[in-house]
Amino acid sequence: MSADATPAWFAKPQAEIRAAVAGDRLAHGVLIHEDPGAGGLLLARWIAQLANCREKSRAPCGECQECRWIAADQHPDVLRLSPEEDSIQIKIEAVRAMIAELGLTAHGHGYKVAILEPAHALTDAAANALLKTLEEPPGRTLLLLVSSEPRRLAATVRSRCTRLRLPGPSRGDAAEYLKAARGAGPWADALAATGAGPFTLLDADPAALAQLRHDTLSTLNEIGSGNLQPPAVAERWARGDLTTRLACLESWVTERILESASIRDATHLSVRGRAPNICRLFELSDAIRDMRKLAFTTINKTMAVESLLWRWARA
Q: Which residues bind Zn ion (CB under 5 A)?
A: 53, 55, 61, 64, 67
Between 67 and 287, name the residue whose CB sits nearer to Zn ion: 67
Residue 110 C-beta: closest distance to Zn ion, Å: 10
Between 106 and 188, name the residue whose CB sits nearer to Zn ion: 106
Between 61 and 263, name the residue whose CB sits nearer to Zn ion: 61
Query: How far is residue 83's CA from residue 120's CA, in Å, rounded to a whole number?
Result: 10
Residue 141 C-beta: closest distance to Zn ion, Å: 20
Residue 102 C-beta: closest distance to Zn ion, Å: 22
Query: How far is residue 190's CA from residue 193's CA, in Å, rounded to a whole number?
Result: 5
Residue 49 C-beta: closest distance to Zn ion, Å: 6
Between 42 and 127, name the residue whose CB sits nearer to Zn ion: 42
Between 67 and 212, name the residue whose CB sits nearer to Zn ion: 67
Between 69 and 187, name the residue whose CB sits nearer to Zn ion: 69
Contacts of 167 (CB under 8 A, 6+ apart): 9, 35, 38
Residue 71 C-beta: closest distance to Zn ion, Å: 10
Between 70 and 253, name the residue whose CB sits nearer to Zn ion: 70
Instruction: List the one residue out of 133, 136, 131 whose CA is nearest residue 159.
Output: 131
CB 80 within 8 A of CB 72: no
Between 48 and 175, name the residue whose CB sits nearer to Zn ion: 48
Instruction: List the one residue out of 134, 119, 123 whose CA is nearest residue 29.
Output: 134
> What value, to the nearest 5°, has the Cα angle with vertex 146 and ends 145 and 152?
90
